[in-house]
Amino acid sequence: MSAPQIPKEQEEYKFFPDHVLTEINVGLFILFLCTILAIVLPVEMTEKANPLITPEHIKPEWYFFPMYRWIKMTPEAVGIFFPMVVVGIFIFWPFIDNWIARVAKSKMMPLIIGIIGMVIVTFLMIIEAIP
């Protein structure tokens, strides 16, 4: 039995550069088409922004609500430096966790501290989300 014969055209079609260049051409054509459509048919979502008028109330995205509420509730220095302390706690939490477990002689204490932190963050988020 002999191996099946492959037609000559399929033998010479290589992934690089033949297939890669075809994909690049198609991608550039679609990019060109989208660009032309965006220029010819621009979409306006709302009225244009006026840099001289500040909106009545600017609200951040939902995932920034706890920090936004924290900054509004606390003095400026606390509102700025406390988030840096929280980031430091997140970075060094494995070491802090071991230290708390040794000092408190309980593995539940770090868990309780984590739950209290999550409750505070959730509370701040809900308070800010309510209009």
Give domain status of residue 96, yes or no.
Answer: yes
**One domain for residues 34 and 66:** no
**One domain for residues 74 and 117:** yes
Q: How many whole angstroms separate alpha carbon 96 and alpha carbon 113?
A: 11
pLDDT of residue 37: 94
Q: Which residues are CB-contacts of 66 (< 8 A; sequence separation ≥ 6)?
A: 121, 124, 125, 128
- Total domains in the chain come to 2
Res. 3 pLDDT band, cuts 50 70 90: low
Give domain status of residue 53, yes or no.
Answer: no
Task: For residue 23, give its domain range.
Answer: 15-40
Q: How many whole angstroms separate alpha carbon 116 and alpha carbon 122?
A: 10
pLDDT tens digits, 32-91: 999 999 999 988 888 888 888 877 778 889 999 999 999 989 998 998 899 899 999 989
Q: How many whole angstroms separate alpha carbon 17 and alpha carbon 92?
A: 50
Res. 15 pLDDT band, cuts 50 70 90: confident
Give domain status of residue 109, yes or no.
Answer: yes
Give domain status of residue 21, yes or no.
Answer: yes
**One domain for residues 115 and 72:** yes
Triad 117, 82, 121: Cα angle to 5°: 25
The single-letter code of the amino acid at 98 is N
Give domain status of residue 123, yes or no.
Answer: yes
pLDDT of residue 47: 81
Give domain status of residue 8, yes or no.
Answer: no
